[in-house]
Structure 1
Amino acid sequence: MKFSVSLYSFYSAIKAGELTPMQCIGKAKELGFDAVEAVDFVNFQCPQEEMAQQAQALRAEAEKQGLCFSSLAVAADLLNGSGGDTAKEIERVKKYVDLAAVLGAPRMRHDITQGTKPAQSYDSLLPRLSEAVREITEYAAAKGILTMTENHGFFSQDSERVEKLYTAVGHSNFKLLCDMGNFLCADENPALAVARVAPYTAYVHAKDFICKSFYAENPGEGAFQTRAGNYLRGTVIGQGNVPVKQCLRTLKAAGFDDTIAIEFEGLEPCVEAVRIGLANLKRYWDEV
């Protein structure tokens, strides 16, 4: 088992000027992680022609710290495309596959879509979605990069939907990234959702949320609403309402023994939150 951290977890410190994205790699080593996860909007805020050089610099820093990149996470919309052009969007995502190879990351996660306007059902869009995903994963397979989708983005967030997409793509190089917290964004029980997707999971995001019903008082700044209008706020792993330990138990029972990456997005000071979260995560994994 390896424990990684998404560099997005340090985003509040980056925005405050307390850490640079490059310094976050050393901080991850200091906190006791085995690997780090790169994120497009955190680590590649540079012109496209400079991205490969940036990836080389990130890899060099990780190797200097004795770490590796566990994954690269990128945004994508394979229905609405880049400026309305799906083929252009697929090619853009493939360029990130090239960057994952430069990073030395064995896998890359990309989004699917935010949905369509006027609205269409997920099932009706599956043929188009699976075709686009299959083209990307076939390209990535030739470079030794596993591709994944995450339960993320509200439209492609439910466990049933990502399971259907996995089945429709039907390619050995395409798996699922299971984010145990994100199922709450679609108002789904994380324990039941993880049990559904565990057999197809190649990588895990550990995340916790504090949850409040729509009928409770609006918690204000730092919170957002789920698809059904309930309230979520990110918090330290083990201090929210996500049944993290139960999700880990289910994953272990399904044979998962690869990499779990912390993704923190709460209001607490991020370095301390990640430190406490890692300690809790390691203890829970040992206990289950």
Structure 2
Amino acid sequence: MSDKREAARAQRPDEPDRASDGVAGSPQRNELAAQAIDLRYGDRVVIDGLDLVLPGNSVTAIVGPNACGKSTLLRGLTRLLRPSGGTVTLDGADIHRMSARTLALRMGLLPQQPITPEAITVEALVRLGRYPHQRLLRPWSATDQSAVEDALRRTGTTELRDQQVDRLSGGQRQRAWIALALAQDTDLLLLDEPTTFLDLRHQLDVLDLVADLHAEAGRTVVMVLHDLGQAARYADHLVVLHDGRLAAAGPPAEVLDAELVRTVFGVDCLVMPDPETGTPLVIPRSRTARLTAARA
């Protein structure tokens, strides 16, 4: 754990020691893993016998074509959807054997389409992120309010705090929900398509925020993204799904190539180093080039 994270914990004596949750006697690594998990809706199998390890202390991006199981996988990893087979563990402990509060103190989630409570303001929504930290007869504390203020500031929603969430634009609403996830103040954060509804500038703002949370606060982040270039630029670890199965996993530079993109996404492309970062940059071939290749 980083020095900044240790200092922050020293200033919060009223908070539980979350490092002791999970496997007794083991340090908190925030490693999320699936062992032969099956995820389904009724009779429809979406994820079939998947084995996967999401490394702790890193940023992981999950990518893949539409309807390949990305959001379903995230639901299964967060206990929103119980596997019909296999197990999901956090630092070796089965998440389905953890109490709801223990898991909420370890893991924060931004779902793909969260349901906004009626007539709730932005600040009131963000305050809900502090619920796992509350105790019976324990009043709202300065620590709680500080976490809310920090989440509002980081997401650029401070000036929106008194506005009703259901009256915001799609992008503003998305940032309010991200603020709630940040206020929960977990060391593991899972985001399902956090850049949805956002223009390019705000997409980059959110991804820069993810990078800062990892670099400055030592948080482990798992996020579902659609943009392969953004995933390669911001993630340490890439997970590629195809038809509910694992197509590839590893560092973006080792995983992402033209053959993988063609096989998984059905797109002919060039993959070359990003001129600024050196990370893989996916450039679809022109229509003319694609038609020529198809005729060959």
Q: TM-score range by the shorter chain?
A: 0.3 to 0.5
TM-score (normalizing by structure 2): 0.34
**Quick check: which has more Rg, 1 or 2?**
2
Q: Which has the higher contact order (CA 8 A, sep 6+)?
A: 2
- Greater helix content: 1
The structure richer in strand per residue is: 2
Normalising by structure 1, we get a TM-score of 0.34
